[in-house]
Structure 1
Amino acid sequence: MFHPFDAIRTRILSNRWKNLYAFLPNLSFVMRHHAILNKFYDFVDRTLAIRGDIPVQRFYLNCEYKCDYGRVYNLLSTLVGQFKVQQLILIFSMERYMVAFCWDLFRTCETLVELTLVGHIVLDVPEECGVLFPCLKKINLVSVVYSGDHSLANLVSGCPVLDELFVERRVFPDGLMMFKVSSVSLKRLKLSFSEFHFGDYKVVVDAPNLEYLYVYDNMTNQYSLTNLVSLVEADIYHDAKTIPEIIPFLLSAN
């Protein structure tokens, strides 16, 4: 299998091949801790400029150490409007910097099918947003911050063909007291709440077409699982005191 690093190595063999990496279907950019901010984004911009209008299948951007959110916004605009990106993975700083994710860019994006957000990205999704991602089938949310319980619920309702959702909570407080998901399209749901962070946390799931449920949870003290009429498999790793709350829901699903 041809690896992206192989394309980069070919640059030393011939000038004809020095820009070969820019035409790969999958592009990955990782900002190292010693990187110069502007030079990093200039390199990303040059790569896309060389590419022309060839669509990008998978775009991976890791800005875990530093981030210029203005340039990231411009980059996302280009990926959506010009390169018809299908899979998008964004990893942002876990430090004090936060950015509100730019939902409006994706309202007319009919190519994005998978979105992964990692880091201190603030999800602020008002109810009036309507459809956000018309073709999105898979969402992965890791260590993000929510403006309130409504944000996650509105995000899911704004994805009419969502098939799979994975949420991992590592940051507290993250603004989410009630994890609420209501979706007629959702088939796979994975929750990883492994931190021992105690509070009045609740999980509410209404997904009539859900087929697989994975729960690793050390913090939630109240569950409500309804309409699980299609569930065929569940893996539950949960604090012992609340397992009795989950079991009846699973039994009633069959």
Structure 2
Amino acid sequence: MLCKPTKINKFCLNRAKSPDVNGNKSWIEFALLKGVSELDIFTYRFNSSVTQQLFMCATLVVLKLHAKSEMKLPDESYFLPNLKFLQLEFAKFPVNFPLTRLISGCPMLEDLVLEGGWEDFNVINISSPTLINLTLDFISFGYQYDRPTTDVLLDLPNLLHFNYEDHLAIITA
């Protein structure tokens, strides 16, 4: 915190074993105040007000979020105007999480990685004219026999690379 740089390019926070939500919040807010462009967060949980600040950061180009925290989005239309890479791993999403609104709030997004449990979603709808690489990894969350079926709808006209991992995938065209 005593560091006085005007800008931080890359900031990695690894507090996966720390239950200190306020400490996590302080470090993330510090990085955001310093205009961080690449942010990599490994934490068990953090305050939902922090996620709203994360999703409104104009300086972020890369955001990797490995957290077992509930994601809440701000009400604004555009969240991350310069974001090119977004990775969400093991995050908890509310039942009606507006994934399409999040993606549309990233008009420069080229790479998207979604890992973890999306079993609460009936439909995952991903639409982006700029997305080039997409990874959907449902294996990392674990296999469940009684997991409900989730439909995946993709509208990605410039997609070059697609990686889909699951225990059982049924693809219809």
- TM bin, normalised by shorter chain, reads 0.7 to 0.9
Pick the aligned partner of 2:161 from 212, 215, 236: 212
What amino acid does structure 1 have at the position aligned with 2:158? N
CA contact (8 A) 1:149 1:177 kept: no
Whole-Å Cα distance in 2 between the matches of residues 85 and 214 of structure 1? 29
> Aligned equivalents of 2:11 and 2:154: distance in 1?
31
Name the structure 1 match of 2:59.
111
Match of 1:143 in 2: 90
SS in 2 for 1:102: helix
Identity %: 25
Any conservation in 2 of the 1:187–1:210 contact (CA below 8 Å)? yes
- Greater relative contact order (Cα < 8 A, sep 6+): 2
Match of 2:138 among 180, 193, 197: 193
**1:87 matches 2:38:** yes
Aligned-pair CA distance for 1:179: 1.7
Q: Which residue of 2 aligns with 1:102?
A: 51
Letter in 2 for 1:186: L
Distance 2:24 2:46 in 1: 13
More helix by share: 1
Aligned AA for 2:13?
A: L
Q: Does 1:121 align with 2:121?
A: no
CA distance in 2, matches of 1:124, 1:177: 19
- TM-score w.r.t. the length of structure 1 is 0.59
Give a deviation string over 1:1-27, Cα, whole Å, max 9, x none: xxxxxxxxxxxxxxxxxxxxxxxxxxx
**2:127 aligned residue (182, 185, 189):** 182
Partner of 1:52: 4
Q: Which runs of 5+ in 1 are unaligned?
A: 1-44, 219-238, 249-254
Amino acid across the alignment from 1:181: I
Deviation at 1:149, TM superposition (A): 4.1
Cα separation, partners in 2 of 1:99 and 1:74, compared to 1, 3 Å: closer
CA distance in 1, matches of 2:31, 2:40: 12
Name the count of aligned residue pairs: 168
Q: 1:167/1:213 Cα in 2 relative to 1: closer, same or farther (>3 Å)?
A: same
Report the TM-score when normalising by structure 2: 0.84
Q: 4+ runs of 1 displaced by more than 3 Å?
A: none
Q: Answer yes or no: is 1:155 the counterpart of 2:155.
A: no
Q: Deviations over 1:194-218 (max 9, x none)?
A: 1323212111111122121111122
* Post-superposition offset of 1:56: 1.7
Q: Which amino acid in 1 is paired with 2:138? A: F
Q: CA RMSD in A?
A: 2.2
